C-alpha cells in the first residue's frame, strides 16, 4: 500500500469516527436542488511526501482526474486568468461554471490575483536571486480582491517555498478541502507546480507538504466514503514525471507531464457537487 493510500484511508476513517458535523448550524454551500450541503470534518491535517524519494500523493482507490487538475494549475499560474471561456475553450474544464459571478469570470480570484500582484515572476526571481531566502511565498488570500468583486474565496490559497541544497520544497496551505472529490487533485496540482518551478529555477523537486485546516466529507458522500474503505488498493506505486528539458516556466504544457504505473481501482464513484 502506498503512503498516499494509507493516509487517505486513515483520514476517511478518522472523519467518519471522530468528526464534527455542521448540521447544528447554517452553512454557505448547497446542492443544486437548494438543500444545504452539510459536512462532517476534522481540522489541522498535515501530510508530507518526499518526491525525490518516490513518494507521490495520489490514491489508487479511485481514478483521479490528474490531467484536468494540471490544466487548472496552468490556467491559474501560467495563463493567470479568471476567465471561464479560456478555461473551457483551451482546457475543456467546466467545473468552475457554477461560480460564474455573472460576467464570465470567477471574480478577482486565483489567476487574476496571480497576475495583479505578479506573484509567479516574483517567486521565480526570488528563488534565483536569493535561494536561501525565507520569504518565497505566494498568497492568494487578498482581502482587497475580495472587496473588489464577488467570488469564492480561494481554497488552496498559499504556498511557501524553500531551497534545500539541490532541492526545492513547497508547502501548500489550504483552508478547506472536499476530500473525496478534490483531495488528491489538489495534491497532484501542486506537485506539478513544484516540478515546474523547480525546473525553471534550476532545482530538483524535493518535499511536498500539505496543511489542510478543514478536511471534510459532504453528507451526500458518506456512502462513497464507506465504499472506499472497503476497496483494496492497487499494488502499483504511481508517479508523476515532468518529461521535458524546458526551463521557461511559461513554456510548460500538459503534454510535458507523464503519469507512470497508475492503475486506479474502478469503477469511478459519482459525487453530487456542493456549490
Catalytic residues, which ones?
A: 155
Q: How far is CA 93 from the centre of its chain?
A: 15
Q: What cell numbers appear for 85 in the block?
A: 471561456
Alpha-carbon distance 161 to 55, whole Å?
19
Measure the N-to-C terminal CA separation of the chain; round to a whole number of Å: 33
**Dihedral of CA 169/175/178/179: which sign?**
positive
> Whole-angstrom Cα distance, residue 212 to residue 224?
21
Determine the Cα–Cα distance for residues 50 and 171; give it in Å rounded to an integer. 12
User: Where would I find the H helices in the chain?
Assistant: 3-18, 66-73, 84-91, 111-116, 119-129, 143-148, 179-201, 222-229
Return the bridge partners of 169, or none: 162
**Bridge partner list, 128:** none
Give residues with Cβ within 8 angstroms of 248, minimum separation 6: 200
> Could you tell me how far CA 82 lies from the centroid of its own chain?
17
CA proximity to 78, closest of 159, 205, 196: 196
Query: Which of 164, 165, 160, 215 has the alpha carbon at shortest distance from 193?
Result: 160
- Cα(38)–Cα(191) distance, integer angstroms: 30
Cell numbers linked to 179? 476530500
Amino acid at each position: 500500500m502506498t503512503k498516499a493510500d494509507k493516509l487517505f484511508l486513515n483520514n476517511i476513517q478518522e472523519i467518519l469516527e471522530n468528526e464534527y458535523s455542521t448540521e447544528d448550524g447554517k452553512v454557505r454551500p448547497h446542492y443544486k436542488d437548494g438543500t444545504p450541503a452539510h459536512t462532517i470534518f476534522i481540522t489541522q491535517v498535515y501530510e508530507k511526501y518526499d518526491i525525490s524519494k518516490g513518494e507521490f500523493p495520489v490514491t489508487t482507490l479511485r481514478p483521479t482526474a490528474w490531467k484536468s487538475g494540471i490544466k487548472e494549475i496552468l490556467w491559474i499560474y501560467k495563463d493567470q486568468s479568471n476567465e471561464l471561456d479560456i478555461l473551457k475553450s483551451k482546457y475543456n474544464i467546466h467545473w468552475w461554471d457554477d461560480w460564474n459571478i455573472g460576467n464570465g469570470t470567477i471574480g478577482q480570484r486565483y489567476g487574476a490575483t496571480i497576475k495583479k500582484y505578479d506573484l509567479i515572476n516574483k517567486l521565480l526571481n526570488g528563488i534565483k536571486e536569493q535561494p536561501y531566502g525565507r520569504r518565497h511565498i505566494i498568497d492568494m488570500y487578498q482581502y482587497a480582491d475580495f472587496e473588489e468583486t464577488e467570488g469564492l474565496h480561494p481554497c488552496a490559497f498559499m504556498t511557501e517555498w524553500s531551497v534545500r541544497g539541490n532541492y526545492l520544497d513547497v508547502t501548500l496551505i489550504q483552508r478547506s478541502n472536499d476530500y473525496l472529490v478534490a483531495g488528491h487533485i489538489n495534491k497532484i496540482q501542486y506537485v506539478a507546480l513544484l516540478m515546474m518551478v523547480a525546473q525553471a529555477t534550476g532545482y530538483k523537486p524535493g518535499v511536498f507538504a500539505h496543511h489542510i485546516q478543514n478536511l471534510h466529507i459532504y453528507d451526500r458522500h458518506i456512502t462513497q466514503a464507506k465504499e472506499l474503505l472497503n476497496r483494496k488498493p492497487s499494488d502499483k506505486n504511481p508517479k508523476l514525471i515532468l518529461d521535458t528539458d524546458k526551463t521557461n516556466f511559461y513554456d510548460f504544457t500538459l503534454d510535458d507531464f507523464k503519469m507512470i504505473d497508475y492503475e486506479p481501482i474502478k469503477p469511478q464513484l459519482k459525487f453530487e457537487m456542493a456549490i
